[in-house]
Amino acid sequence: MSKELTLHINGQTYEFTIGRKLGQIPESETLLETLRERLGLTGTKLSCGEGACGCCAVLMDGKAVASCVTLTAECGGKEITTIEGLADPVTGELDPIQEAFLEHSAFQCGFCTPGIIIAVKSLLNANPHPTEDEIKEALSGNFCRCISHYQVIEAVQSIVKGGEQA
């Protein structure tokens, strides 16, 4: 017997069924797999596959979660936002966090950047005026081998100081 599943991703609604037949989502499929392989939202990255590095972070009801260890079947009715969903869907204008990352060159290779931006968005949703220590704590689950964290902190501080709503 299959179960119906409604996902709300980046302002779009998707209807799936959970099951073992072709086209259905197996109960063991992760949100990361669904995003990348079924919906073509490849901004969310697979790195460690264990929820430890932050590359796969997406917003679920406004909070960052590791999509590589979150089962799609558990996401019914949740509001999910990926890196692709942060830009304004009508104008294409980037989120202030994305703009700040560009202005401060807060990335190098870019692989981990979507997860870091999602972590920052989650932080600013909960705390619009974090201290530097709170920013560092919020980013402690995101790993970057390129060592661009100094620019990331500067970018986040520029948003906080500028008073922009993230």
pLDDT tens track, the chain, 166 positions: 679 999 999 999 999 999 999 999 999 999 999 999 999 999 999 999 999 999 999 999 999 999 999 999 999 999 999 999 999 999 999 999 999 999 999 988 889 999 999 999 999 999 999 999 999 999 999 988 887 678 999 999 999 998 554 4
Q: What's the pTM value of the predicted model, to 2 decimals?
A: 0.92
Domain residue spans of the chain: 3-85, 96-162
Task: Name the CATH architecture for the domain at 3-85.
Answer: Roll (3.10)
Residue type at position 71: L
Residue-wise burial string across 97-125, b where 16 or more C-beta atoms lie within 10 A, e elsewhere: bbebbeebebbeeeebbbbbbbbbbbbbe
Span 96-162: which CATH code? 1.10.150.120
Query: Taking Cα atoms as reference points, which of 38, 79, 39, 40 lies closest to residue 58?
Result: 79
Which residue in 154, 14, 157 sits closest to 82, CA to CA?
Answer: 14
Token pair in block for residue 97: 């966090």
